[in-house]
């Protein structure tokens, strides 16, 4: 009986997905360049659609041949793989390196956990071996910052590559990784006991100049077009706007519509269907753009300190949280996040990269923040604390974390167990 009910439920769900709904879902997933290409193709195929030149902002490009040739250009992966050919690597190192390269996000960061890579490579190589390849090979490739696990790590990699003085690197590490400093202003005040104001401000300036998306500076990604842009306001806040430049505005051909509606003219069925399709497409694209702006605006509001360069720390933020606040389906949020970018003071950032998972269900804490807490507890311990003891200490502060979670993240920062410390 239960199996029959499940089968009927699945059938009902499948039946509820109409062709138009499926097309709407497909539109949500398209990047800006993809939807621009689709709009131009639809204008050519549907006589009821035309460009709305009266409402078209300046800067529109009509030469779509650039988009057509995009797939033939050099990719980030190709560039990184070619660099491996110049290195003397063992067979194992080469296999691990190639797997990591294929696992990188478009922005060049590595979001997948190393233990997940270990699992996907059938446990042939250990997490330790994978981490060595990541740190000593991948993160040494060009452009600087490739292979970082988060924005903080990509900043540190770039600062090291710049060969800044050791004292400046020390300050940068404290600002980025010490949980005592919640933002840049806080760091300025608290670090002044040990460093000069000018030294601290110079390091903060260098941090802000780092490229948070090193993978986007490539030939194949030069044409990345952000859907949204952040407009700074005089009061220190900012607005998030949909970028109308380079986006084809379309409208219905009114003369042709009137001709079809005229009862004296016997318009054929195919022509009427084209008119209905044109009207639907205009509504669907407007809805797609509106949803992109709503999701992007909420993300920017949640990560305001990070985007306004007050902090280098992202706040925990998930698909589910966005969906709940916007009262939309989580799957809609997931589709919106695919290949969508925001033009920020830090450059073009993917919307997805501005999300950060929380390792605790009762308190918002990112994996990086948890690792910093574990590091701090171990650094300050008088007696060697087991993972269970560390878990107990953090749980008293409302983290609600199991011992195995502490063990997992302790290992990620290469800290030995209490027996070996």
Architecture of domain 367-420: Orthogonal Bundle (1.10)
Q: Using CA atoms, how far apart are residues 275 and 50, in angstroms rounded to an integer?
A: 12
Structure tokens at 261: 């509606």
Percent of the chain past pLDDT 90, that is, above it, reads: 45
User: Cα separations (Å) of 53 from 60, 101, 178, 258, 329?
Assistant: 10, 43, 53, 20, 35
pLDDT for the residue 61: 47
Structure tokens at 399: 């983290």
Report the b/e string of 194-233 with b at 16+ CB within 10 A.
ebeeebbebbbebbeebbbbbbbbbebbeebbbbbbbeee
CA-based torsion, 254, 260, 265, 268: positive or negative: positive
Burial class (CB in 10 A: 0-12, 13-18, 19+), 101: buried
Q: Is the pLDDT of residue 11 over 60?
A: no
The Cα diameter of the chain in Å comes to: 93
pLDDT for the residue 72: 46
Q: Using CA atoms, how far apart are residues 5 and 9, in angstroms rounded to an integer?
A: 6
Residues in contact with 289: Cβ distance below 8 Å, sequence separation at least 6, in sequence order: 227, 242
Q: Is the pLDDT of residue 6 over 50?
A: no
Torsion of CA 371, 377, 380, 383, to 10 degrees: -130
Phi, psi at residue 250, to the nearest 5°? -125, 155
What single DSSP character describes residue 195? S
> What is the average pLDDT across 175-195?
85
Structure tokens at 363: 């308190």
pLDDT tens-digit map of 89-140: 999 999 999 999 999 998 899 999 898 999 999 999 999 999 999 999 999 9
Q: Which residue has the higher pLDDT, 404 or 419?
A: 404
pLDDT tens-digit map of 306-359: 998 888 888 889 999 999 999 999 999 999 998 899 999 888 899 999 998 888
**Upper half-sphere CA count for residue 392 (Cβ side, 13 Å):** 5
pLDDT confidence band for 367 (50 / 70 / 90):
confident
Whether omega before 90 lies within 30 degrees of 0, making that bond cis, reads no
Report the predicted TM-score, pTM, of the whole model to 2 decimal places.
0.72
Q: Which of 156-165, 169-178, 308-317 has the lowest mean pLDDT?
A: 308-317
């Amino acid at each position: 009986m239960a199996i029959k009910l499940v089968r009927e439920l699945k059938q009902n769900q499948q039946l509820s997905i109409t062709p138009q709904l499926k097309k709407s879902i497909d539109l949500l997933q398209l990047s800006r360049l993809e939807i621009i290409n689709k709009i131009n193709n639809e204008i050519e195929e549907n006589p009821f659609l035309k460009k709305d030149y009266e409402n078209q902002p300046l800067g529109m490009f009509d030469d779509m041949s650039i988009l057509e040739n995009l797939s033939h250009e050099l990719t980030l992966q190709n560039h990184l793989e070619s660099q491996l050919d110049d290195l003397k690597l063992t067979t194992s190192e080469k296999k691990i390196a190639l797997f990591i390269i294929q696992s990188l996000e478009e922005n060049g960061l590595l979001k997948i956990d190393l233990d997940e890579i270990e699992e996907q490579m059938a446990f042939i190589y250990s997490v330790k071996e994978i981490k060595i390849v990541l740190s000593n090979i991948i993160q040494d490739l060009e452009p600087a910052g490739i292979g970082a696990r988060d924005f903080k790590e990509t900043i540190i990699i770039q600062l090291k590559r710049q060969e800044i003085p050791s004292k400046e690197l020390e300050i940068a590490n404290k600002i980025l990784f010490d949980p005592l400093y919640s933002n840049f202003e806080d760091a300025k005040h608290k670090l002044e006991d040990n460093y000069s104001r000018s030294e601290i401000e110079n390091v903060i300036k260098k941090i802000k100049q780092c490229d948070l998306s090193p993978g986007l500076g490539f030939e194949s990604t030069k044409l990345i077009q952000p859907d949204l842009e952040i407009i700074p306001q005089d009061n220190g806040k900012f607005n998030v706007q949909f970028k109308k430049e380079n986006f084809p505005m379309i409208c219905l051909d009114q003369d042709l519509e009137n001709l079809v509606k005229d009862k004296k003219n016997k318009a054929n069925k195919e022509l009427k269907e084209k008119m209905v399709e044109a009207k639907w497409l205009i509504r669907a694209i407007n809805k797609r753009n509106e949803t992109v702006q709503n999701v992007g605006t909420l993300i920017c509001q949640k990560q305001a300190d990070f985007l306004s360069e007050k902090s280098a720390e992202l706040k925990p933020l998930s698909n589910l949280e966005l969906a709940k606040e916007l009262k939309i389906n989580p799957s809609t949020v997931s589709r919106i996040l695919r290949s969508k970018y925001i033009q920020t003071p830090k450059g073009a950032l993917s919307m997805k990269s501005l999300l950060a998972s929380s390792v605790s269900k009762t308190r918002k804490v990112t994996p990086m923040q948890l690792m910093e807490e574990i590091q701090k507890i171990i650094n300050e311990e008088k007696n060697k604390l087991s993972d269970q003891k560390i878990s107990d200490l953090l749980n008293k502060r409302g983290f609600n974390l199991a011992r195995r979670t502490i063990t997992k993240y302790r290992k990620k920062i290469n800290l030995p167990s209490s027996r070996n410390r």
